[in-house]
Amino acid sequence: MLSRTSSPAAPLDSTGYLKQVLTARVYDVAIESNLDFARSLSRRLNNKVLLKREDQQPVFSFKLRGAYNKMAHLLPEQLQKGVICASAGNHAQGVALGAHKLGTRAVIVMPTTTPTLKVDAVRALGGEVVLAGDSYSDAYEHALELQAEQGLTFIHPFDDPLVIAGQGTIAMEILRQCQGPLHAVFVAIGGGGLVSGVGAYIKAVRPEVKVIGVQMTDSDAMARSVAAGERVQLRDVGLFADGTAVKQVGEETFRLARELVDEFISVDTDAVCAAIKDVFIDTRSIVEPSGAMAVAALKQYVATHKTKGETYVAVLCGANMNFDRLRFVAERAEVGEEHEALLAVTLPEERGSFRRFLHILDGLPGGPRNITEFNYRISDASLAHIFVGLSTADKGESPKIAAHFNQHGFTAVDLTHNELAKEHVRYMVGGRSQLAGSERLLRFEFPERPGALMKFLDLMRPGWNISLFHYRNQGADFGRVLVGMQAPHNGDAALRKFLAELGYPWVEETDNPAYRLFL
């Protein structure tokens, strides 16, 4: 057994960790979280998918398990001086809650990139927040300095046997809650504390169950370290999944992961955004990026191995999502699931091209597609370049759609996996144009139903021209559309008649200063 003051001199074996998990003190602050059946995801993947709901914990993350187990083993004189930790947020909340429960001081060093939601949550629990550095590793170095200066006890977020054992109680619950067949458990990896604890318990009790470690493609220190046979320190880490943005994994977690993890899977931002949506559909809850990584990897695993009828568990390890990120997540989820194709299409700059484009769209293989986005600004006298988003049903459709347009005489480039296009270009199509004379700028609300755009085109008068068009599906019953129309100066009566016949709500923005300055 471990003493109350220190880690063991020799590394624990699987039996040692099994005992530590079974005797861990976590339930003073943690709950036994649900293991929920993901009905929709299971049906889509043809496998039974279970979600371990660590997002239900009092601090919306599993981290309080390990933190409290470590703190509960401290001596009274250590608690009297206080504790300190470095964390991207979830471990910080666990330490703050544990310190409140034990009546001790908690200093929390957090990276400056930590979402405000997590910083505020730590302060609300009584933690003293210090912001330092751009990543966990930077915050860790500063925390060690403060620890030495103030005589505090450091509570490591992952590289401590007591912390690892606390996280292992998740596996203890999973195996108790899932009595039937279980083929694999998917676990996100940052520093490795969670996967080490889960792996140690599962391999001691049911070694046939696979433990799959999951990392972001831009924060994969554990996978690289295992491949290299030694701990690797990353120069930089991605910050979208800030809860797992660790430059170097722990010594003990590296030792355990190398022995216990059956496979590593890397997932990207779009896949994680799609997984956040998957979790929402099944649970009506929103997890943070790190919390959805396991689901993203589970989907990738099924697609790679073509499995059917198996049972998988994905650990939803956290739900401390910054509200401001939801817009980005929603934008990228469709691309991550490949439910949206992004294309650049070149049309002749002549009357009727737009209508011909729509007819070709209706004739796409597999049936018509909804337009999810349409950006166009007149810029050339002979060619029109449009940025268009189209709904898709299956992965791999975007190259086929581009080929279809090319076969019908419209040059098309598939931008679905082009990061520049997804991050920036889609928002930058436009600008001033010397060809946009006599332009009137109108803002519409189009009904989100088939034929709404065609009705608009059919009612346009001969001699009128569309010089700007911007639309993005927002998930509402109506679409917000901005249109630049070139109509004669003396055609005000005809324009008003057109608008009356159209019947869509509209506002003229020709005198809007934003339009004057930028468009």
52-63: per-residue pLDDT in tens?
Answer: 999 999 999 999
The pLDDT of residue 489 is: 66
Q: Are 392 and 365 in contact (CB under 8 A)?
A: no
CA–CA gap between residue 222 and residue 189 (Å, rounded): 7
pLDDT cut 70: percent of the chain above it: 96
CA–CA gap between residue 184 and residue 298 (Å, rounded): 9
N-terminal to C-terminal alpha carbon distance within the chain: 71
Exposed/middle/buried for residue 284 (C-beta within 10 Å: 0-12, 13-18, 19+): exposed
175-211: per-residue pLDDT in tens?
Answer: 999 989 999 999 999 999 999 999 999 999 999 999 9
Give the contacts of 475 (CB within 8 A, at least 6 positions apart).
330
Q: Is the pLDDT of residue 280 over 60?
A: yes
Q: Which residues of 393-420 are buried (b: 16+ CB within 10 A; e: fewer)?
A: eeeebbeebbebbeeeebebebbbeeee
How far is the CA of 495 from the CAs of 302, 320, 466, 488, 512, in angstroms?
55, 50, 13, 9, 19
Token pair recorded at residue 352: 């009727």
Q: Which residues of 194-207 are buried (b: 16+ CB within 10 A; e: fewer)?
A: bbbbbbbbbbbeee
Q: In which element (H, E) is residue 22 found?
A: helix 14-22
382-437: per-residue pLDDT in tens?
Answer: 888 888 888 887 778 888 888 988 988 888 889 888 877 877 777 777 777 778 77
317-335: per-residue pLDDT in tens?
Answer: 999 887 878 888 887 887 7
Q: Is the pLDDT of residue 250 over 90?
A: yes
Q: Across the beta sheet with 439-447, what order do the strands follow?
A: 411-414, 340-348, 383-391, 371-377, 465-472, 478-486, 439-447, 506-508
CA 56 distance to own-chain centroid: 18
Token pair recorded at residue 141: 């170095």
Q: In which element (H, E) is residue 344 found?
A: strand 340-348
Confidence of residue 510 (pLDDT cuts 50, 70, 90): confident
The pLDDT of residue 476 is: 63
Work out the average pLDDT over 37-42.
Answer: 98
Confidence of residue 300 (pLDDT cuts 50, 70, 90): very high
Work out the average pLDDT over 98-123.
Answer: 89
SS3 329: helix
Exposed/middle/buried for residue 448 (C-beta within 10 Å: 0-12, 13-18, 19+): middle
Confidence of residue 271 (pLDDT cuts 50, 70, 90): very high
Read off φ and ψ for residue 515, nearest 5 degrees.
-65, -45
Work out the average pLDDT over 339-359.
Answer: 83
Residues, the chain: 519
- For the chain, what is the mean pLDDT? 88
